[in-house]
Amino acid sequence: MFKFDIIEEHGGHEQVVLCTNKDAGLKAIIAIHNTTLGPALGGTRMWTYKSDEDALIDVLRLSKGMTYKAAAAGLNLGGGKAVIIGDPKKDKSEALFRAFGRFIEGLNGRYFTAEDVGTDVNDMEFINMETQYVTGIDIGHGGSGDPSPFTAHGTLMGIKACIKEKMNTDSLKGLKVAVQGVGSVGKHLVELLHKEKAQIVITDTDKERVQAISSQYGCDAVSPEDIYSQNVDIFSPCALGAVINDDTINLLKCSIVAGGANNQLKDARHGDILKDKNILYAPDYVINAGGLMNVYLELEGYSHERALNMTRGIYYNLRKVFAIAKNENIPTYKAADRMAEERINKIGKVKQTFLGRSGRRFNNLVKVDSK
């Protein structure tokens, strides 16, 4: 039985699409949260969820986060996300992703996808065989490739905004950073932190990956359970969400939480607790917007240098968030929501003006099918 109450509970989504193709082994959900600012854009995650309900909740949370991420980043995009239920190590196939691409094509530009946890550039290439509404495809096919380095770069800029706010310094030299998860984003962040001469502690569920990165960059490595209690300046979640929760929040021995993962707070109240504990929290959808900025430029005309410049702006976006939080004495997650909602409301009112039948309808954000 499809549970409409779960959708209503997670923030007023415009559209939720169930995608199935038995022959291709496809079970997926696409959630479009809000398209006030433009077409929805958000990655496709492939994961072995414990239940279909868990998958639904995840895609609803993630798609709402994308609405706020795009708004806070100043992009003309709405929020959407997709999840494919399956094991990314065993269940991938050309047929699966092409079947999924057909569902995206059927939305006629309301939703653009990209890679996410469990998917990569190769998967986007298969999707692109069936739809033009996909970003993050191979550079050779006119895309921008893997967005992870830009997410990591933006996260680094956000960390620098945090240390400026908390410690009044611009240098990470000698500061201790615990990176939770060294996958596609985390490994690039470790490389950048290493160049900044930070002291780095890492963890991941993939022991071979931890060993390789630890050897390459001289990081200390700890178990996933011990990463929270490390005596560090910055805790940087770069894996899955809900890692700041009742079980972990009192283990933290840091002064800053700033990482690339989505939905880091299990519940909003955990953001209040961080404020009470005098731990500066960089709202996740503000600090990790670099990947979205990068793929957004594919819709306008891609430039690597412009993408880097946009991700540098995350530093200033977070500084605005911290200023709102300080002026209004509210937690930073509430300040970020306020900044994003204000832009959505203002632009939404601007767009109420009728432009006539020839009015602009985001034609500049729909790529021409070159196939």
State whether 136 and 189 are in the same domain.
no
Q: Tell me the pLDDT band of 243, cut-offs 50, 70 and 90.
A: very high
State whether 211 and 108 are in the same domain.
no
Q: Kindly state the average pLDDT of the residues 351-366.
A: 61
Measured CA to CA in angstroms, residue 201 lies from 150, 180, 220 at distances of: 21, 8, 5
Domain count, the chain: 2
Q: Are 256 and 138 in contact (CB under 8 A)?
A: no
CA 212 from centre of chain:
25
Q: Is the pLDDT score of 2 beyond 70?
A: no
State whether 90 and 167 are in the same domain.
no
**pLDDT reported for residue 371:** 43
State whether 29 and 159 are in the same domain.
no
State whether 200 and 279 are in the same domain.
yes
Cα within 13 Å of Cα(276), Cβ side: 7
Q: Kindly state the average pLDDT of the residues 323-330.
A: 98
State whether 124 and 246 are in the same domain.
no
- Residue positions annotated with a catalytic role: 81
Q: Is the pLDDT score of 366 beyond 60?
A: no
State whether 127 and 171 are in the same domain.
no
State whether 270 and 254 are in the same domain.
yes
State whether 18 and 59 are in the same domain.
yes
State whether 202 and 95 are in the same domain.
no
**pLDDT reported for residue 370:** 43
> Which helix or strand (DSSP H or E) is residue 145 part of?
none
**Can you give the residue range of the structural domain that contains 243?**
148-289+315-338
Q: Tell me the pLDDT band of 359, cut-offs 50, 70 and 90.
A: low
**Residue 306 within a domain:** no
Lowest-confidence pick of 20-24, 141-145, 321-325, 348-352:
141-145
Q: Kindly state the average pLDDT of the residues 45-58.
A: 94
Q: 299-321: buried (b, 16+ CB within 10 Å) or exposed (e) per residue? A: beebeeeebbebbbbbbebbeeb
State whether 186 and 154 are in the same domain.
yes
Both tokens of residue 331? 């937690």
State whether 102 and 176 are in the same domain.
no
Over residues 56-101, the pLDDT tens digits come to: 999 998 999 899 999 999 999 999 999 999 999 999 999 999 999 9
**Residue 354 within a domain:** no
What CATH number should be reported for the domain holding residue 320? 3.40.50.720
Share of the chain above pLDDT 70, in %: 95
Over residues 274-317, the pLDDT tens digits come to: 999 999 999 999 999 999 999 899 888 888 899 999 999 999 99
**Residue 308 within a domain:** no
Q: Is the pLDDT score of 107 beyond 80?
A: yes
**Residue 48 within a domain:** yes
What CATH number should be reported for the domain holding residue 17? 3.40.50.10860
**pLDDT reported for residue 10:** 79
**Residue 204 within a domain:** yes
**Residue 351 within a domain:** no
